[in-house]
Structure 1
Amino acid sequence: MDDDSRTARWESGAALPLGIASLVYLASYAAHVLLPGLPGPVRVTLRSVQLLAWALFVVDYAVRWRLSGAGLRFVPRHWLDTVVVLLPLMRPVRIVRTYEAVQRRGGRPRLALHARVIVYAGLSAALLGFAGALSVYQQEHAAPHATIRTFGDSVWWTCSTLATVGYGDVAPVTPWGRTIAVGLMACGLALLGAVTGSFSSLLLQRFRREGDDEDVPRPPGR
């Protein structure tokens, strides 16, 4: 069995457990940030859950690196996976792989390419936005001269940033908050470009198909 088939089998089998672990990680992190008054043992449990989920991400990365046989070339080739291991809060964005794995394993028809791009981009934006809002709120709400004081403020700022609108009514003031902002800006541009490009391609295909139909000669008298 070659390395590619072994890697594909591993990814197919691990996609659903890792997807669940990603959501558990995000939920435990959200509880840790939004519920600061939780008892000490509960907070320790939440941290333990996060560490366990992160350990699963590291194991998955290490196994796929080993199966790839690419050596150090694996890191630049899978740069997003590398970033996710270093910043596990971004792991829920990879949840879109779970859908692909379940569809391939079940043998059911999948959505058309353009629909998948739009659905994946929307799901990624929602998960990334929620994770980004949590991170910015954690860094900003207690900072001096902060304008992001509540989680609602953070969600509003995240939505305007991902949408590349940027009203400027609230903005991060801490170094880490601004670093997160730069990442969200880049992700917002990438997601917007993916959706716009896919939608434009879909329209061009529709117009081309209609043009081809009009060029087909019709029998006389019809």
Structure 2
Amino acid sequence: MGTNQVNAPAGAGDEAEVRLRWWERRTEWPMVGLSVLFLGLYAWMVLDTGLTPVSRQRIDAVMWALWAAFAVDYLVRLGLARRRLRFVVHNAFDLLVLLLPLLRQLRVLRLVVVLLTLNRRVQARVRGQVVLYVSGAVVLLGLSAALAVLEVERTAPDAKITGFGDALWWTMTTVTTVGYGDYYPVTGQGKLIAAGLMIAGIALLGVVTGSIASWFVDRFGGLEQSVSASADATRRLDAESDQLRAEIVVLREEITALRTELSSREGS
């Protein structure tokens, strides 16, 4: 593969990148739609406790089919990438969350696949709109975490989180790093979800803090530049005024000299 890359024409890599971008553009909204459908099915399966085992199996089968579509999308992007090893390294987390749900105990991580897909597809659309992006990310992350922790916690012995309201409250206190401690996970999977939510909460708070700091820097930086420009203009005006005063003094001296000369001529 290394030999082919060395001997490949210079335009081959550009053509591969064009094909990759074309695929990502063509699959952008379909993948977003599949992600939303996956979340809807997952929420239905978690919240509707009256579902029959057969219905649950059917919903789970559809969800696995959707997860397979995410895997196909990853494989196609890998195939279209010019530097596949670099693609795997830069998208190692995508590959990890695609493989881990194969373990029955970690199937809840299928939600991470959905979150990554939505983030990758939507981020470019709202780039620069930090408030919109962060708000959407908080809502999506909170809803997904609440559903995930409720699924793994409510049937556990000594469970503290047994209802969706409890799960939402726990999610809010965790993602904001408040952590009252009135609700907390007791299972291993629940603690894994909690750890991921804590890390995501810190990251989101960092984004918000950085955005606010950047706003203040821009605002006060512009004000400082305005004040500096005003000071420069004032100095230029002062310099011009001093020059005008000096010219007026010279003119007065010349006028006085002319008057003296005229007087002396009239007297003679």
TM range (shorter): 0.7 to 0.9
Name the aligned partner's letter for residue 66 of structure 2.
A
Write the deviation string for residues 108-154 of structure 1: whole angstroms up to 9, x where unpaired: xx66x2xx233222212211111111111111111111111111111
CA RMSD of aligned residues (A): 2.1
Deviation at 1:84, TM superposition (A): 4.2
Matched, 1:144 2:157: yes
Aligned pair partner of 1:165 in 168, 171, 178: 178
Q: How much does 1:12 deviate? A: 0.9
**Partner residue, 1:106:** none
Paired residue secondary structure (2:213): helix
Look up the match of 2:213.
200
Q: What is the rounded CA distance, in whole Å, between the counterparts of 2:50 and 2:133 in structure 1? A: 35
Equivalent position amino acid for 1:125 in 2: V
1:89 paired residue among 111, 115, 124: 111
Which has more helix, going by share of residues? 2
Q: Alpha carbons of 1:67 and 1:130: their partners in 2 closer, same or farther (altered >3 Å)?
A: same
SS at match of 2:205: helix
Q: Which one has more relative contact order, counting CA pairs under 8 Å at least 6 apart?
A: 1
Q: 1:123 pairs with 113, 118, 136, which one?
A: 136
After the TM superposition, which residues 177-188 of structure 1 pair with which residues of structure 2 at under 5 Å, given as runs?
177-188=190-201
Contact 1:96–1:120 under 8 Å retained in 2: no
Equivalent-residue separation in structure 1 for 2:18 and 2:175 (angstroms): 37
- Partner amino acid, structure 2, of 1:52: A
Distance in 2 of aligned mates of 1:210 and 1:82: 47
Q: Secondary structure at the match of 1:14?
A: helix
TM-score normalised by length of structure 1: 0.86
Distance 1:85 1:10, change over 3 A: same
Cα distance between partner residues in 2 of 1:88 and 1:206: 42
Structure 2 length-normalised TM: 0.72
Match of 2:242 in 1: none
Please, which runs of 5 or more residues in structure 1 have no aligned partner?
A: 104-109
Partner of 2:90: 77
- For the structure 1 residues 172 and 12, does the alpha-carbon distance in structure 2 shift closer, same or farther, using more than 3 Å as the test? same
How big is the shift at 1:41?
4.1
Q: 1-side partners of 2:181 and 2:53: how far apart?
A: 37
Contact 2:17 / 2:82 at 8 angstroms: preserved in 1?
no
What code does the residue aligned with 2:110 have? P
* 1:22 paired to 2:22: no
Post-superposition offset of 1:81: 2.3
Counterparts of 2:217 and 2:155 in 1: how far apart (Å)? 50
Between 1:37-46 and 1:170-179, the stretch displaced more is 37-46
Does the 8 Å CA contact 1:90/1:128 hold for their aligned counterparts? no
Do residues 47 (structure 1) and 60 (structure 2) align?
yes
Contact 1:61 1:85 in 2 (8 A): no
After superposition, the Cα gap between the structure-2 partners of 1:14 and 1:156, relative to the gap in structure 1 and judged at 3 Å, is: same
2-side partners of 1:83 and 1:193: how far apart? 25
- Give the residue type in structure 1 aligned to 2:212: F
Is the radius of gyration larger for structure 1 or structure 2? 2
Shift of the 79–190 alpha-carbon distance from structure 1 to 2, 3 Å rule, reads farther
Whether the 8 Å CA contact 1:54–1:88 is kept in 2: the answer is yes
Deviation, structure 1 residue 80? 3.6
C-alpha contact (below 8 Å) 2:150/2:161 kept by paired residues: yes
Residue in 1 aligned with 2:50? 37
Aligned length: 211
Query: Do the aligned residues in 1 keep the contact of 2:78 with 2:87 (CA within 8 Å)?
Result: yes
How far, CA to CA, are the matches of 1:97 and 1:61 in structure 2?
Answer: 12
